[in-house]
Structure 1
């Protein structure tokens, strides 16, 4: 070991080993060339799939429900009662002060033209006037084979041009909300990706002060994303995984952030190795030896956390687990194969103009002995000095600060939000829903659906008629011109009637309901908006009454039931998966660090950090952004990302601390590990925070909340937990942090000397 001019140490330069530096020249050229060519081929094939995601993606909320949910059972049964899987849109015409005869004529003329519009299925309902005479509603079925967003957009454009001046027209209902949701996700392939890449590029320019290296790192992230997307697309095409806009957005951000983080760690090791090795081949192998374990462990931790989502009841959560895990796999592979090959090809030129010179010294504090020397005279050297002098004060103060911030958790409103609140900004479907409630029963666009045995029809219809908040009970009937018929019970007898074709006053005619496997499908109109708390209470009460009074299972579905089942499943998932994630990550850390105490403390630190992030987020959501609430899955997603990704930085830190501790003892190893990794981990934290913050450009409430929670939480973890809390706590505990491994006994000479000095 040689001494630097500042009294510090410089790692002894290794002689090239026969298996590395002595490798044949053709192998040193061919191996990186083949790796680069392989990734170029995969990325060139996967790149065009960015524009094809809509072919295999779905945003149908019911398809995300657990198979056991009542709403899922009802949705699956619909095929037996009607042809196709049409999605209803509700067109609402409104004129304050009353619709005139001319308005009625214009509406009738326009309705006659709608049937010829591409994507409109058979079964267009007649115009239904409101009691106040100010509005008319029309149910328009949109073919399930068509692109709902495109059909609704065309429908809105045609109606806007045709209606008389002064009349408002809205396209709302399930199809309207689906179209608005699809439109909100439309920026994922473009604005989201560009925002994330732009933010990361600026950070890399500042960090490296090199015009070359940021392109190499970002290229690694993009190639990992292209290859991951190619894999996910074909798996979704085969029905192996479920893909939707939410999962797609998180996949993009997660791959860019994770791949860049892993790349930063490798670049840091490679820059160190170039100072200690003259040949690029030797430096590459040294960098791979130093970065392989922490990168694989970090990626494995994230994958393990994500795969815990497979335990979820909610299919939308299950969908994210394997899709995001595939993204992390390619992030790790790209950082350990493609980037090393690129840097091997470019050598020291990658860092131009600040090229690391072979044999260059590392500046250290003159006040340290050789073994305890901190290899920096900058910010991280000063922070190491602070921890060395006041470790206990630092970690106690940091913990108290996080605990105080965690108190805001009690203000988090994560019990679900209305469907109309999912989209931030303008939404015609939301405006139309509000207008509908002023002139018709607010739930007329999204009725409650009840699947019952034909033999139980009288009993079930009687319950529906007596349930507060429900009105206008109907049954699906192929014998009716409108596809539905009124369902009533008179003197214990079930009567199904439909208006007969003819002039007004023509008596209704009796019809037969559509029967599938001995069951009929009833529908009832909600008095309240389908996404309101009152509607949810009505459906819960209905389910309770049916379970108590009807012997056969009678599932209830529809928009409101779907929201109820989604929220209940989310709460179940949150309570189950969070403890499982903690246990899995704790086990991985124990295997990685060969200790028990250190992993337990690391897990506790990240949990406290998550609580603080969630507490501050709750205050911001309520008092700054004035959000209406949050989906129950928001804390779960935030937890999985923050714990899995937050542990990454502790892995980067503590693997280096353990490496240094084996040479110089634990307390000196903590200070050296912090000083060496401080810059790269902080840069990685800034990159990950910036990429997740980019999710906020998509106007979806869920993604905006995840963006803030994860971005703020990563910064909190980077600045406080990994910089102050964990190093200070580890330094204060000393060698015992590695219990029960041999490092905890202080068997190394440096550790015994430092322990004696500490006691003295």
Structure 2
């Protein structure tokens, strides 16, 4: 039945219908894909866990403190000290900045106006070298999108001869984040496509064949982006710059992987069938179950992210699941149609003619199989030992979080401004704790917080209605630093010690702390869920228990080795050789990094084992497990290796964005994928298969006879020697 369906999809008539349908769908979805950036939500509310204390503070302050307020600082620095003329010019510039569209009625606090108003903040450093202006932007709900233009206006005004000027605070950070993600919807995709084209040209050694997978991948990206846009606009799906960046990478990488597997099987069948339509029907019938199982594993694994406490992570799962689902459908419909429309000439100059010999039987991976065959136990034990050794690098991984000056791989203006404030003893007035408490106990809470190290003096409590009041206190350290986290935790402990106050502590640093806490919780909860789901899928697919357990074990081992080696690369290589402009961040990792790396490596890494083991099971029916394993390795080795290289290269493209988190994620996933394809799948799994034989299918009755393999039965062998 499946073969009949496959045949109908690629018949002489339906292939044209499939092509026409795909063109129509892309024509409808491409304009929506182009608007995907317009529905991004990069505000704190799109990341915060709903149960977090900082979220509750935001909710209570909704009618008092506008969540769209963007605290902004202009930082001035002159070596040797700012002059009186400099300070006077700052007052004039403050008046000009106050007239910029979006600056709130509170105006601009400058050194002189602060002194006149008796403001409780110091705007000029004691050494006189640094000063700053403080003001607030508010553009409404889409304010963060307007910050780059507003930042440009401020920079045009804030210029003094001999004085270095930086835009800092939340406004400066928003402008820098916009620059970091600039062109994400086009530049990243183009870079990824160029990398994939180069690899496909090398893999196929054909000047034209690479076009069909690329066309199909682009169609999949356009359609998936359009679907995600509709879900974000009408179904409240959270999409941010991070999820859009990974969506493009994953769709193109996974799509090319599926294309490589299908094209390789189609080329095999062209040697066995004179009619290309019949060859494609058989290829689709044989390859689709493995591709479907792979896609389903990735989709279900990604959907496990909906159990995350973080809105951003919970939204990432469905976004990427949509991308993989659409990619699967495109690659088993459009790509086969394009291949049969073009005919055998598309493989030129290596056209697979009817009746010609299949070259994989004597290729590199057939030789690897023959090398493993005499001593499989020795091979898998040594390989396991080496991977366990690589896991020791995990002790160098520090996912405690990235401070603001560690989040980017290049020097940004806001980071330079924040550093100057810290170096010269000025507090970042945009970095505060926001405290909400019952009005009658608010003064007591403020008094309790006055003893907390790292906090400045608390402001006067303001009534917000319903018997509640709030006040703020400035943090003296970097917003996302451990010192600020300690201060927030101490503030929460001090506030909770006031009986009957029902006090809550929020603010920027509290947000980062709550995000860290939620990420650590997600690591503990989601990783076991993903493992259980993937194990269940493998058990259903392979109709066995032992083989799925072995595969899960090898993937976990591969994940540990990949993270261990990555941690060593981050701490001992990137921070020493100066590969990036700024390297401080590579000594640490975002708290969510282990979970993201795990989900991608397990969901994607298991792909290659699925591709291999479904072929092993297919060949076991005819030849037994041991010979079937060798045939499967020789048949799928080349295509799986190529697929792994493609996926690794596409994830490395993430490093082109100046974000430490994405650079680390790209390196870890790329390294893990290469380990899976080159070592785990080809050497470790094959060696275990050869060692255990038919026992891997327990409790299935498949290969109960325990077939042995002789040298002559191995692919490419010429002599007959018993095992």
Query: TM-score over 0.5 for the alignment?
Result: yes
Residue 48 of structure 1 and its aligned partner are, at CA, apart by 3.5
Q: Secondary structure at the match of 1:444?
A: coil
Task: Answer yes or no: is the 8 Å Cα contact 2:433–2:510 preserved in 1.
Answer: yes
| Stretch moving more, 175-184 or 529-538 | 529-538
Going from structure 1 to structure 2, the CA distance change for 1:159 and 1:594 (only over 3 Å counts) comes to: closer
Matched, 1:682 2:682: no
Correspondence for 2:390: 405
Correspondence for 2:613: 654
Q: Per-residue displacement from partner, 1:573-623 (whole Å, max 9, x unpaired)?
A: 001111111111001000000100001001101111111101100101001
Separation in structure 1 between the aligned mates of residue 214 and residue 642 of structure 2, nearest angstrom: 14
Residue from 343, 361, 371 that aligns with 1:376: 361
Correspondence for 2:41: 58
| Stretch moving more, 41-50 or 552-561 | 41-50
Matched, 1:38 2:21: yes
Separation in structure 2 between the aligned mates of residue 639 and residue 111 of structure 1, nearest angstrom: 49
Residue from 124, 140, 155 that aligns with 1:130: 124
Task: Answer yes or no: is the 8 Å Cα contact 1:81–1:516 preserved in 2.
Answer: no
Going from structure 1 to structure 2, the CA distance change for 1:162 and 1:633 (only over 3 Å counts) comes to: closer
Residue from 57, 69, 72 that aligns with 1:86: 69
Separation in structure 2 between the aligned mates of residue 247 and residue 539 of structure 1, nearest angstrom: 29
Matched, 1:634 2:593: yes
Correspondence for 1:332: 328
Q: Secondary structure at the match of 2:500?
A: coil
Going from structure 1 to structure 2, the CA distance change for 1:516 and 1:37 (only over 3 Å counts) comes to: farther
Task: Answer yes or no: is the 8 Å Cα contact 1:57–1:244 preserved in 2.
Answer: yes
Correspondence for 2:120: none
Separation in structure 2 between the aligned mates of residue 20 and residue 305 of structure 1, nearest angstrom: 27
Task: Answer yes or no: is the 8 Å Cα contact 2:620–2:703 preserved in 1.
Answer: no
Q: Secondary structure at the match of 2:309?
A: coil
Runs of 5+ unmatched residues, structure 1: 1-16, 364-374, 475-486, 488-495, 497-512
Separation in structure 1 between the aligned mates of residue 5 and residue 488 of structure 2, nearest angstrom: 70
Task: Answer yes or no: is the 8 Å Cα contact 1:442–1:526 preserved in 2.
Answer: yes
Separation in structure 2 between the aligned mates of residue 239 and residue 171 of structure 1, nearest angstrom: 36
Task: Answer yes or no: is the 8 Å Cα contact 1:442–1:529 preserved in 2.
Answer: no
Correspondence for 2:654: 695
Q: Secondary structure at the match of 1:88?
A: strand
1:406-555 alignment, distance < 5 Å: 406-474=391-459, 487=460, 513-555=462-504
Going from structure 1 to structure 2, the CA distance change for 1:191 and 1:139 (only over 3 Å counts) comes to: same
Matched, 1:672 2:668: no
| Stretch moving more, 738-747 or 351-360 | 738-747
Residue from 129, 134, 147 that aligns with 1:139: 134
Correspondence for 2:31: 48
Residue 229 of structure 1 and its aligned partner are, at CA, apart by 0.3
Matched, 1:292 2:288: yes
Separation in structure 1 between the aligned mates of residue 625 and residue 172 of structure 2, nearest angstrom: 62
Correspondence for 1:316: 312
Q: Secondary structure at the match of 1:140?
A: strand
Correspondence for 1:10: none
Q: Secondary structure at the match of 2:497?
A: helix
Residue 530 of structure 1 and its aligned partner are, at CA, apart by 2.3
Q: Which has the larger radius of gyration?
A: 1
Correspondence for 2:582: none
Residue 104 of structure 1 and its aligned partner are, at CA, apart by 2.8
Matched, 1:601 2:550: yes
| Stretch moving more, 204-213 or 566-575 | 204-213
Residue 192 of structure 1 and its aligned partner are, at CA, apart by 1.6
Residue 49 of structure 1 and its aligned partner are, at CA, apart by 4.0
1:97-112 alignment, distance < 5 Å: 97-112=80-95
Correspondence for 2:352: 356
Residue 263 of structure 1 and its aligned partner are, at CA, apart by 1.0
Q: Secondary structure at the match of 1:450?
A: strand
Correspondence for 1:243: 239
Q: Per-residue displacement from partner, 1:542-598 (whole Å, max 9, x unpaired)?
A: 111222323343221111101110111101100111111111100100000010000
Going from structure 1 to structure 2, the CA distance change for 1:418 and 1:725 (only over 3 Å counts) comes to: same
Residue from 64, 69, 82 that aligns with 2:52: 69
Q: Secondary structure at the match of 2:473?
A: strand
Separation in structure 2 between the aligned mates of residue 406 and residue 653 of structure 1, nearest angstrom: 25
Residue from 213, 216, 221 that aligns with 1:217: 213
Correspondence for 1:500: none
Going from structure 1 to structure 2, the CA distance change for 1:19 and 1:83 (only over 3 Å counts) comes to: closer
Separation in structure 2 between the aligned mates of residue 27 and residue 421 of structure 1, nearest angstrom: 52
Separation in structure 2 between the aligned mates of residue 274 and residue 343 of structure 1, nearest angstrom: 11
Residue 86 of structure 1 and its aligned partner are, at CA, apart by 1.8
Runs of 5+ unmatched residues, structure 2: 112-122, 576-585, 714-719
Task: Answer yes or no: is the 8 Å Cα contact 1:172–1:429 preserved in 2.
Answer: yes
Correspondence for 1:618: 567
Correspondence for 1:491: none
Correspondence for 2:528: 579
Separation in structure 2 between the aligned mates of residue 440 and residue 124 of structure 1, nearest angstrom: 24
Separation in structure 1 between the aligned mates of residue 4 and residue 447 of structure 2, nearest angstrom: 87
Residue from 700, 703, 716 that aligns with 1:741: 700
Separation in structure 2 between the aligned mates of residue 84 and residue 610 of structure 1, nearest angstrom: 40
Q: Per-residue displacement from partner, 1:617-646 (whole Å, max 9, x unpaired)?
A: 010100111213001111111111111111
Count of matched residue positions in the alignment of Structure 1 and Structure 2: 692
Task: Answer yes or no: is the 8 Å Cα contact 1:84–1:144 preserved in 2.
Answer: no
Task: Answer yes or no: is the 8 Å Cα contact 1:71–1:558 preserved in 2.
Answer: yes
Going from structure 1 to structure 2, the CA distance change for 1:19 and 1:394 (only over 3 Å counts) comes to: closer
